[in-house]
Structure 1
């Protein structure tokens, strides 16, 4: 037998004492066991990986490739080696019953943790495989893997303590029940994150790849990961924001996903028009505005209707205020409506209009409400900028003025005018 081979050698050939031969036999057996375990580990790992790679090359699925990536066979090899060591311990430590008891316990713990690592590699493989499918590619799979692993590690820790102390497992489970309040406090964020990740997945409020905005936490970018404890967001300035997962259910945030999947991105911006620049149109103004192609038909038709109404009711037009009149502000709004309706980058199937908002001390806001066909941020900003460039440049053709706080140049010009007067 292997356990007595070195003992007989040391006893018979070297004439060593009984005690010395026993201890040297133990050391030699442990060295042989270590070398045997290392050689078997390398052999199983090499031939197993080679066999799996050969099989993976013949199959069309990526699942077996992911098994290799997550070192599944490596972890399986560890289990096999630990089991072999466990079975050989009794032979090797036959002369040391007390040492055998502790070695057996430590090896059992090694088997437990090797099994946990093997299960982890299987879970990671399943997660990575599901991530390649259309149905699960944007789901928070990391959260489920993490909560499952937490449960497994907890079971492994309890089992290890039970094996190490030699106490029945039921005692540790009883103590764990009494300790549950403390555990709930320690794992509060984990539990909240797990519940929140389930709510997020079921309600489909956030997916990986969604653009979300949480102004409270300075987050504005794409979701790159949703795990058990946090949501990782890559902001548009290339910084990373990490937000606790349960904030997605307890706090408000803006998800731009539906905008990306819709027919357009909203444009909602206003300019301020000076109130004292608004006036009724004179006959000269009407004739001048008829030359503007976008509103030529509108001016012709509207001016005829106004003129017919005033004549029918014998309105005294020696005072421009009397009767019905067109205004430069109203005409400008119609012009903007026509301009937006003819803009190639605006989605004509969605709501669009120019509207007058409530007057402010700085003037009357004139707001453009429409939807750009371009939804990518850079292209969208260009479309919106081009529209408002045109609006700001066209205001003066309608004898309107845009409000702007006076600058130092304006103050100096006013002083020069006062001096010249």
Structure 2
């Protein structure tokens, strides 16, 4: 599967690099632009806003074009934006942030849907989709040293120029693959009936079993995890006196736990005969997230805190893999739209989590953060119960609608 999907996996990794470079070299980038670090860092929020708006607005169109061509368009936008960012001009760096957010809002759901489309609507499709998300989590863990080492020779501007070259080369690959690919799922949908209008696409997506609760879970999970990560360094410094050098190992532990758990969950839940259903795995992941996020803020022993950090990252990876697998398997020919809205909701979750976590910390300290994040996970558990209730026979029905030949 990895050999077949290598362009998709490579493109998913490249898609994370522009903002990784921006975050890693925020201080020298601000100096080059003649701006303060706070002002320059604030531009990162423009990317999240653009991802939210573009991802939601273009969701119905992801399934109306070949996924390879949509991915190629996203890569071209990423390549052009990276070239703008390499200039070091403040205005162009603002454009860089906006365009990277918009480009990834198209690129990521297109790549995930393209990977799934090669394997129909069954469990193999879910495994392919989670392989893409696992690659992204691995890249997020390793990207800093990957961009830091080359930058020793050509600086952060050289990193962005390299991203431009890689993105444009991959875009050419996807254009060629789009031409050679047999008629995709969007063409099959056209043969089966009249194409839905823009607003009707949203309504039809909302009527699919369990899709709305799954999208809500993704938003809430992201809010919890990203809000928790936003204050993790401060907590470790305050509670355990960990300096940035030692905290780097904590960050690696969290990233490695997420990657391994995401990869294994995709394999286990999408096996031909899984020992545990995806819906039940979703519940277990959320229960573990609830225990770990509430217990973490009351720990005063470093080994226990590290165990909680690892468990919390792993539990979120389980939930993320289950959500993607279920969206792919339940949405059929509308999976691109569902994944696009899912990505937009997670962009919103980043802002919600940081804001609510900060509010909890300001009002009641670390117990306040435990209460806020615990309440969000509890709400996600309630939504997961609805997903379980709508799960009976859903996968089989989706597989039947797509056809037995898709697996080949």
TM-score by length of 1: 0.22
Higher normalized contact order (CA 8 Å, seq sep 6+, divided by chain length): 2
Give TM-score scaled by structure 2 length: 0.22
Bigger strand share: 1
Please identify the structure whose Cα radius of gyration is greater: 1
Greater fraction of residues in helix: 2
